[in-house]
Every structure is written in structure tokens, then in C-alpha cells.
Amino acid sequence: MNERKVISAFIRNRQSYEEAKELLDRSDFDSITLHLIDLIGDYYDTDPNASTVDVEILTDRFARQQPSQKLTDTIKGILTTLPEVSDGNVRRELREIKAYNLGLKLSAAFTRGQTGPEVQKLLQEYLHVTEDSGGERSSGYSEWPEEFTVESLLSKSFQQEGLIQLYPKALTEHLDGGCRPGHQILVFAPTEMGKTLVVLNFVAGFTLQGLRTLYVGNEDPVADLQIRYCTNLIGRPKSDILKFPDRAQAALDKRNYKNAIFAPLAPGTFKKIRELVSKFRPHVVVLDQLRNMDVHIEGRTQALEAAATQARNLAKSMEVLVVSVSQAADSATGKRILARGDVDSSNVGIPGQMDVMIGIGATQEDEEQNRRWFSFPKNKVSGRKDPIPFVINPTTSTVIED
């Protein structure tokens, strides 16, 4: 969620802070935002009668604890230009995000077959967060009964066969069997590192699982994407397909290649994507790339955050797995292991909307050997962060386990 909106709600209304502070997932916020939230809490603790926070005092306290004048000036500018917000809707959004994240933890626990005290504790916390609270309960959870058991949850919502696998196999194992409709995955990497190759490898894997994919490509020519998808699916280079088209067609027909639907939108709007999802009913939607989506907002950072938010809403409301693709910043060049801060132009807003972040990195030596590394700056599906090495085959656009 937008950090400035949270800060604004907390500063302007003590009730918002008191009711929502326990709903915050601190891993979704940067260290500066967390420091400001802690200072707000200290302000209210100091004066039980305070209903709002004095921005000038808050800025002075921040300045005394941060030696950087440049950072202090930046924070002062932020605090004096906070947006007007709806306190109730901010609290509701934080409640929904908390419930969603708890649901992911429950899913991972159930997938691993865990039903002990820790899982029961998670269930109780989930119930507490989603129970009606002053009209703020999300309608998205209204189907949950007041009484339920682990067995009923396993049978209705967390069956293993409901998981969508990501190829290569090591990636699926890393995610405790895969992802679910409603999740959003971010694939990011520096230029020419193989983002599209990796995502096309995903798509071929979805096809082999009998799943339909809507590939929204707004950067590469659609014919280029389609031929690379074909080379992956049948394991033959483009030269073979051009030389023996009949053989290639026969091989593709056996693999249900039409399960992948390529939509060459330029740049594409979420309204149009929703129309396509309603028409084709895919299991997975690929957005390649997120930064090219038209969200009618000026400013790269704000536009990227809006696109990531709308993509997450698409995943949840239309019950599809969304795979978003974005660029990495210059800081990622030459690195094997990427961090959240390596996302280009939006290293806070985009990560906050993702369930899984998959970075693709490599050193210069790795690149020369077609070796790459998957890293996981954020992983709410299984929690695992250890990197995975792999090799790419550019002639067939395939990923090979190292």
C-alpha cells in the first residue's frame, strides 16, 4: 500500500493508528517509513490525549535521529505535502492486506501438511483480522464460515492440485509446489538478461499442465514471442521450424500450443485486459512489461505503483495468476542476487503488491556461459530466499536446471 497514505492517516487520526498499527506487515515498508511510524507511535504514547500528530515536532525528532540533512529535507517535504485520505478506507485496505498475507501463510502451511499449534494460531489470527469491525470487513472474505476445521479448509481451498507449477522444476519446489490463482509474481532483471525467455519458459510449462495463458506483450513484436514460444514447446531452434514447418506444426498440435493466447496490446489498459480475461478465461495472465501499461498517471514511479496495484486487483478479483515483468535498475548490473531495491523506478511500490519477486541476475562471467541466478527478494508463498542457479538456451528459449 502507498506509504504516504498510511503515514497521512496515522498523523491525522489517532484512531487510525491505534486500530491499524497491528495490521501492518513491516516487511512491506522501507526502513524510513517504519521509523516514521515508530515516531508517530511514540508521539501518541507520550500524550494519551493527542488526537493528531504535530508534523513540525515529528520532523524535528526525525532530524535529531538522522545525521543526513538531505534526508531530513526530503522527509520534511513529504510530511508537509501528505495527501488527503479516507481513514476508514486506509484501515480497511490494511486489514485486507493483512488477511491476504495470513491466507498465504496458511496456504504454505497446509501445502506442507502442517496442522499443529502454529497453524491453529494462524487460523485464529486470520479470524480476528477478518471478523466484522465497524463495517470495514472486506466482502472478499464473506464466504468464510464462522466455524471451520483444518480439514474443511484443506478440502475446499488448499488442495495440492490447485497449485500452478512454474518451470523449471526447482522453481516449483522452491515455492512449495507452486502458486495459486490470486497471486501476483514479479519477474525482473537488467536488460538482455533473459526476462522474456524465462517467462516464455513459464508459459510453455503452463501449456504442458493444460492451463490457458493470456500473454499481454506490449514490448516485443508478437510474432517474435510466438516463434520463441514454439521453439521452447517442441525443443527445436527457429531454423528447424522454418525448414520443416509441417513437422513443427504436428509437434505443436500434440502439445496443445493454442492454450497460449498472445495479445499484442500497445501499450494496453487494464480495462482491455479484463475484457480479454472475461472472453478467454485464462488461468494465467502475463503482463510483459508492467512499465508500459497505460494507467493514465504521470510520473514513472506513481505509474508503476498504480500498474502493480491494478495487476494485483486483477489477480484477486478475476482469480488468475498474474506474472508481471519489469526492468531492474542499474544497481542490478553484474549482480547474481537481486534485492527489492534493484527494481527500476519503484523499489517500494511494486514490491508491496507482489506475493513473489523473482530476480534474474548474473556476473559477466555467468553471462558468457549462459548461466543465470534466480533470487527471491520477496517470497510470501514459501518464505524461502536461497538463490537457484540455472542455464539458458537462447536458441530454444528454454531454462535448464544447473
pLDDT tens per residue, range 210-229: 999 999 998 889 999 999 99
The whole-number pLDDT of residue 141 equals 39
What DSSP assignment string belongs to 339-351? -GGGBSS-TTHHH
* 97 against 388, higher pLDDT: 388
* 175 against 21, higher pLDDT: 175
Cross-strand pairs, 215: 262, 286
Q: How far apart are the first and last CA of the chain?
A: 37
The identity of residue 225, as a single letter, is L
* 188 against 218, higher pLDDT: 188
The whole-number pLDDT of residue 263 equals 93
pLDDT in tens, 54-88: 999 998 888 888 768 888 888 888 888 888 888 77
The whole-number pLDDT of residue 29 equals 76
Compute the average pLDDT of residues 41-59: 89
CA-based angle 198:199:204, to the nearest 5?
100
Three-class SS state of 38: helix
Q: Residue 343 corresponds to which cell in the numbers above?
A: 527494481
State the pLDDT confidence band at 16, using cuts at 50, 70 and 90: confident
Can you count the helices (H) and strands (E) in the chain? 17, 9
> Which among 131, 188, 28, 8 is positioned nearest to 80, based on CA atoms?
8
The identity of residue 136, as a single letter, is E
The identity of residue 97, as a single letter, is I
Question: What domains are defined for the chain?
Answer: 3-79 (no CATH), 100-156 (no CATH), 161-401 (3.40.50.300)
The identity of residue 330, as a single letter, is D
β-strand 260-263 against 356-361: which pairing, if any? unpaired
Cell 480476528 locates to 128
* 317 Cβ contact list (under 8 Å, min separation 6): none
Compute the average pLDDT of residues 12-18: 86
Instruction: Give the C-alpha separation, 41 to 357, whole Å.
Output: 31
367: number of Cβ within 10 Å: 15
Compute the average pLDDT of residues 190-213: 96
Are 327 and 291 contacting, i.e. CB atoms less than 8 angstroms apart?
A: yes
**pLDDT over 90 at 33, yes or no:** no
CA–chain centroid gap for 60, Å, is 35
98: number of Cβ within 10 Å: 20
The whole-number pLDDT of residue 71 equals 84
The whole-number pLDDT of residue 399 equals 97
Instruction: Give the C-alpha separation, 112 to 108, whole Å.
Output: 6
> Which among 296, 365, 356, 367 is positioned nearest to 104, based on CA atoms?
356
**Average confidence score pLDDT of the chain:** 86
Are 373 and 389 contacting, i.e. CB atoms less than 8 angstroms apart?
A: yes
The whole-number pLDDT of residue 75 equals 86
The whole-number pLDDT of residue 155 equals 63
Instruction: Give the C-alpha separation, 111 to 119, whole Å.
Output: 12
The whole-number pLDDT of residue 202 equals 98
Instruction: Give the C-alpha separation, 151 to 114, whole Å.
Output: 11
pLDDT in tens, 251-276: 999 999 999 999 988 778 898 999 99
pLDDT in tens, 287-327: 998 989 988 777 788 889 889 999 998 998 899 999 999 99
Instruction: Give the C-alpha separation, 351 to 328, whole Å.
Output: 12
**pLDDT over 60 at 194, yes or no:** yes
Q: Go through the chain and tell me how many residues it has.
A: 402
Instruction: Give the C-alpha separation, 388 to 384, whole Å.
Output: 11
pLDDT in tens, 111-170: 777 777 787 777 777 766 765 444 443 334 344 444 556 666 666 555 666 799 999 999
The identity of residue 272, as a single letter, is K
Are 186 and 357 contacting, i.e. CB atoms less than 8 angstroms apart?
A: yes
Instruction: Note the helical H segments in 66-167.
Output: 69-79, 87-111, 117-130, 150-156
Give the dihedral of Cα atoms 134, 139, 141, 142; nearest 10 deg.
Answer: 90
